[in-house]
Amino acid sequence: MSPHGDHRISMSLPTKSVTLAAASYPGGIRCYTKLIGGEVREASLELSDEALGKAMRDGNSNIVAATTGWTSSTLPFKVHPQSSLCTIAWDAHSQSVFYQDEAGKLCEQRLTEGKHWKLSKTFNAPKVTLGTNIASVASPRDRKAMLIYQHENGSIYYHTVSNDRWDVAKELLHTKVNGRTGIGATSWDDLEDIRVYVQSKKHNIRQYRKVSDGDWQVTEGVVTSTHDINDITAVGWGPKDKREVRLYVQDEPGNIIEYKSEDNNKKVPFARGDFQQAAVRNSDIIGFVRNVNAAPGFCVNLMWVDTNQAVQQCIYNGKDWLPPAKIAYVDPLNMPGLWDKGPQFDDHDIATAVKNAASRKYVSEIRIRADNGGIYALALAYTDGDVTETHGRAGKEQPTVFALSRGEDITTVWYRTDQKGLAGLQFGTSQGRTTQWFGSGLGAFGRLDSGGHALIGFAGAVDEDYSNKIVGIRPIWSHVQPRRAHEDVAGKVASVEDVLSRVPAESAQIQQRAAGVQAAQSALEPATKDAMAALADLTESVEMLHGFEHAKTGAQVRATERRNRFVDEQLAVCDEDAKAVAARFKAVAERVAGLPSEAQKLRAEIDALQQKANHAELEDAIKTKIDEILKLKAKFQKELTSRTLQVEDATTAANKSATRYAENRAAGGADQPSPADTKGPQNPFGAASAPTSTAHESDETRDWREQAEKDAGELAYHVAHRDFRAACIARLDSDLKELEGVSARLRDALKVPAVAKAFEEVAALEAQLVTREKEIAELAAVLGELAPLCGQLAGKTGSKAFAKALLPIVEKVDAHAGLKGLCSKVEAHILLAAAQRLAA
């Protein structure tokens, strides 16, 4: 935390049990705490230097106690459930609060003129670890400050601001630190000397020091440690030649301890100091130095939360620590039960992976052992098979298992406490289911949630005197919101929208390739005509050969050498013509061979593209989900009606017993209360206060008080479950609205003009391709038969032999309409008749 007081995560950062921030300004103190729902409460106290100086001289810290004039309010913004807080007081009317918003972004809210909070537009810190500690040093007089935090890569980063202008983020020496590090910082001389303290990977505390505009200097191991330190608070004072620094951290049992260095310029390790106080584990420690008009000219204010959940403040006057003063009580809903009866446990390490949204790891089961005496054992199982350690009492009894369905998360925990701590538990889910009540159904009732975030683990405490029975509990909530009923189909519709957005481009590519197939088919015509012309030439040459042969054999004059030469020469012509036919038909067959497969490929792509317009299955899934939600809503409506009646009955009973209790006290059922009883403690943070004293009650008054407390607990129980049902119905209404919107998006995606036109074009193209594919396939088939036949034409020894080889070729040509139509030189039927006559 700062000396001025004060996302989807992959590194190990524990969930804070209590979040505090505070800063002083000339004339007062402002403190901030985070409530369970993300609200931020402010408590402020006007405290002059004179009054503070007098308190230091008198050795009395009561000037900062809860009864001395604290005022409180709720700030107009919410923070993330895992967010830390940090604050800088610029003056009496100007304040900055730094936090991570509900999306995990690090933000600055600025109070100006004591009236309005406004989100800073100049502050920008990207890629911040969710739940990071945040520290600051500031020079309000010069309007300068430095903010330090942990980057998502594990390193420490810082921003500087001067006159409200923030500089870009810078990394602190590229040095990785322990994943669970606290961050402390202090400064002197208007930021001319800055010290930052973090925990190294070896668990020791490391110091970074920057003097003026120089480079950062690192000193390792100023404090040695063997455990994770969740929070480091640093304060410093003194002149340049003898500066003193104090560090405050929690030891493993949870005590706040002090380390001091009286001359840190010599880089000596810190020595153990005198301060030690018990505190709630994993809670913030706040420290700041304030100048006062009394010796020694300054004081140190330290704030923490004790094990009774009271915010304590202690003042150091330069020599001694004054007795602690109680400021307020933090909301006990954060940590119900008792926390100082024995060891504490924390599921943080296994829950770390769950905090990373990308890990897709969720709680799948709650395993619990309990009876009317309380909760004895508790464990969680996860969707990836991991299981937490079983917390509490060891035993052979099998636990009761509450299994979560796919997409279901624990979002609410109800509890009861009594004088022995945690008495009972019940769980509610994101789908509106509730478990049985585990443990005792008696005691003070309360509820734990974090604005709908999913449970990922537990921290708690056990009582060694009761064989490690669980007596304190605190849920660890994820920054991930539970999965909603519409999310699956919404994701699918988003994918459909993305797919459909590419349809026009894909259609254009298909049409372009189809045009190429058409062009290739058209280009075949000249070559095929040439092949038909060569076939006609061959037929003519064979017919001439037949004439020469007939003239030779039927001549009156004996055959002469000249007649033989005519036959031989014509035979050679036929042979050349046959080779030409073979070559041309082969060339055409090769060119047409690849076209059928290309056309088929295009047809398949068109079919696949057209399937992108068919979303009947998705539409059915949306309709099914809507029907399921409507049925569940009707069920919840009935339960809400029943719960509302129970609230009415419980209200009547609670009012009756409360009235009888008040009447009994007014009638003298209690002795005269002491002044402390009548005044009662104030609570600036607006959380539950310490209980009113009952030391002077009569027996009858005690009976009515106990009855009133019991009835109030029953009323709170029924109200909580009524509200839970109402929240479930509201969530279902939201899901219905989302699903209707998703369905409309699906319909609209198909109606986009460019998409609709693309589907029309590929439909028309498909019809053309069907015809073209058939033509090409038939042509390829017949050419596939003709090519080898044509290859057998050459080498024949007479017209009859040529004619017999030619006849099946001409028959196939005459039988194929496409080839037949390309016989432009001599019609196919004439060629067929000639071949038949010659072959005979």
Residue 10 has pLDDT above 80, yes or no: no
Residue 688 confidence (pLDDT): 47
CA distance to 374, 438, 461, per residue, from 392 (Å): 11, 15, 8
Residue 685 in tokens: 């943070």
Q: Which helix (H) or strand (E) holds 73?
A: strand 71-78
Report the candidate in 266, 201, 193 with the shortest Cα–Cα distance to residue 234.
Answer: 193
| First vs last C-alpha separation in the chain | 111
Residue 542 corresponds to which amino acid? V
Whether cis (ω within 30° of 0) applies to the bond prior to 691 is no
Residues 744-793 have pLDDT tens digits of 888 888 788 888 888 788 888 877 777 777 777 788 888 888 888 888 88
Residue 731 in tokens: 């969530």
Secondary structure of 101-165 in the HEC alphabet? CCCCCEEEEEEECCCEEEECCCCCECCECCCCCCEEEEEHHHCEEEEEEEECCCEEEEEEEECCE
User: In terms of pLDDT, which residue wins out, 26 or 643?
Assistant: 643
CA–CA gap between residue 440 and residue 425 (Å, rounded): 8
> In this structure, what is the dihedral angle of CA atoms 413, 415, 421, 424, given to the nearest 10 degrees?
-110
Residue 7 has pLDDT above 60, yes or no: no
Across all residues in the chain, what is the average pLDDT? 83
Residue 332 has pLDDT above 70, yes or no: no
Please spell the DSSP secondary structure of 285-310, one letter per residue.
-EEEEEE-SSTTSEEEEEEEE-TTSE
Q: Pairing between strand 183-188 and 205-211?
A: unpaired
Please spell the DSSP secondary structure of 730-742, one letter per residue.
HHHHHHHHHHHHH
Residue 400 confidence (pLDDT): 95
Burial status of residue 760 (CB atoms within 10 A of its CB: 0-12, 13-18, 19 or more): exposed
Residues 21-64 have pLDDT tens digits of 998 888 889 999 987 667 898 988 888 878 888 888 888 777 77
Contact in structure between 701 and 709 (CB atoms under 8 Å): no
In the Cβ-directed half-sphere of 799, how many Cα atoms lie within 13 Å?
23
Secondary structure of 413-460 in the HEC alphabet? EEEEEECCEEEEEEEEECCCCECCCEECCCCEEEEEECCCCCEEEEEE
Residue 346 in tokens: 């924390």
Residue 232 confidence (pLDDT): 94
Give just the sign of the alpha carbon dihedral 337, 341, 347, 349. positive
Work out the average pLDDT over 422-433: 94
**Domain boundaries 20-332, corresponding CATH code:** 2.120.10.70
CA–CA gap between residue 206 and residue 184 (Å, rounded): 10
Contact in structure between 159 and 147 (CB atoms under 8 Å): yes
Confidence band for 635, pLDDT divided at 50, 70 and 90: very high
User: In terms of pLDDT, which residue wins out, 458 or 16?
Assistant: 458
The residue with tokens 């024995």 is: 342
Q: What is the percent of the chain with per-residue pLDDT over 70, rounded to a whole number?
A: 88
Work out the average pLDDT over 522-548: 85
Residue 765 confidence (pLDDT): 80
Report the candidate in 199, 179, 202 with the shortest Cα–Cα distance to residue 250.
Answer: 199
Q: Pairing between strand 410-418 and 86-91?
A: unpaired
Helices and strands in the chain: count of H runs, count of E runs: 13, 36
CA–CA gap between residue 192 and residue 142 (Å, rounded): 12
Please spell the DSSP secondary structure of 751-764, one letter per residue.
H-HHHHHHHHHHHH
Contact in structure between 537 and 580 (CB atoms under 8 Å): yes
Report the candidate in 471, 743, 766, 773 with the shortest Cα–Cα distance to residue 629.
Answer: 743
CA–CA gap between residue 167 and residue 144 (Å, rounded): 11
Contact in structure between 493 and 744 (CB atoms under 8 Å): no
Work out the average pLDDT over 153-159: 90
**H helices present in 383-502, as ranges:** 487-501
Let me know the angle formed at the C-alpha of 139 by 136 and 145, rounded to the nearest 5 degrees: 40
Please spell the DSSP secondary structure of 777-788, one letter per residue.
HHHHHHHHHHHH
The strand pairing partners of 721, in sequence order, are none
Report the candidate in 532, 578, 526 with the shortest Cα–Cα distance to residue 824.
Answer: 532
Residue 201 has pLDDT above 60, yes or no: yes
Residue 54 confidence (pLDDT): 82
What backbone torsions phi and psi does residue 314 show, to the nearest 5 degrees? -125, 145
Domain 344-483 has CATH 3.40.120.10: no
Residue 766 confidence (pLDDT): 79
CA–CA gap between residue 161 and residue 123 (Å, rounded): 9
CA–CA gap between residue 635 and residue 440 (Å, rounded): 28
Residues 546-570 have pLDDT tens digits of 888 877 666 555 567 777 888 888 8
Report the candidate in 161, 42, 140, 164 with the shortest Cα–Cα distance to residue 91.
Answer: 140
Helix (H, G, I), strand (E, B) or coil at 434: strand
What backbone torsions phi and psi does residue 8 show, to the nearest 5 degrees? -35, 90
Whether cis (ω within 30° of 0) applies to the bond prior to 296 is yes
Work out the average pLDDT over 150-164: 89
Residue 39 in tokens: 């609200």
User: In terms of pLDDT, which residue wins out, 646 or 11?
Assistant: 646
Contact in structure between 548 and 567 (CB atoms under 8 Å): yes
The strand pairing partners of 28, in sequence order, are 25, 46
CA–CA gap between residue 657 and residue 678 (Å, rounded): 21
Residue 503 confidence (pLDDT): 82
Strands (E), 666-812: none
Residue 684 has pLDDT above 70, yes or no: no
CA–CA gap between residue 51 and residue 48 (Å, rounded): 5
Residue 736 in tokens: 């219905």
What burial letters (b/e) apply to 533-570, b meaning 16+ CB within 10 Å?
Answer: bbbbbbbbbbbebbebbeeeeeeeeeeeeebeebbeeb
CA–CA gap between residue 729 and residue 838 (Å, rounded): 94
- For the beta carbon of residue 442, count every other beta carbon within 10 angstroms: 13
What backbone torsions phi and psi does residue 251 show, to the nearest 5 degrees? -80, 180
Residue 187 confidence (pLDDT): 94
Residue 299 corresponds to which amino acid? C
Confidence band for 838, pLDDT divided at 50, 70 and 90: confident
CA–CA gap between residue 252 and residue 260 (Å, rounded): 19
Residue 745 confidence (pLDDT): 83
Work out the average pLDDT over 411-430: 93
The residue with tokens 């602190």 is: 172
Quick one: DSSP state of residue 697? B
Secondary structure of 345-361 in the HEC alphabet? EECHHHHHHHHCHHHCC
The residue with tokens 């109402």 is: 726
Residues 577-628 have pLDDT tens digits of 889 988 988 888 888 877 777 777 877 888 877 777 777 778 888 888 889 8
Residue 547 confidence (pLDDT): 85
The strand pairing partners of 176, in sequence order, are 155
**Which distant-in-sequence residues (6+ apart) come within 8 Å of 777 by Cβ?**
596, 599
Pick from 483-487, 659-663, 702-706: least confident: 483-487
Residue 685 has pLDDT above 70, yes or no: no
Residues 75-100 have pLDDT tens digits of 999 888 778 999 999 998 899 999 99
Residues 251-292 have pLDDT tens digits of 877 899 999 987 655 556 789 999 999 888 778 999 999 888
Which of 289-298, 359-368, 460-469, 652-661 ranks highest by mean pLDDT?
Answer: 652-661
Quick one: DSSP state of residue 638? H
Give just the sign of the alpha carbon dihedral 715, 718, 720, 722. negative
Confidence band for 351, pLDDT divided at 50, 70 and 90: low
CA–CA gap between residue 195 and residue 264 (Å, rounded): 10
Work out the average pLDDT over 393-411: 89
CA–CA gap between residue 506 and residue 322 (Å, rounded): 78
CA–CA gap between residue 76 and residue 8 (Å, rounded): 25
Residue 7 in tokens: 């996302």
Residue 788 in tokens: 């080898």
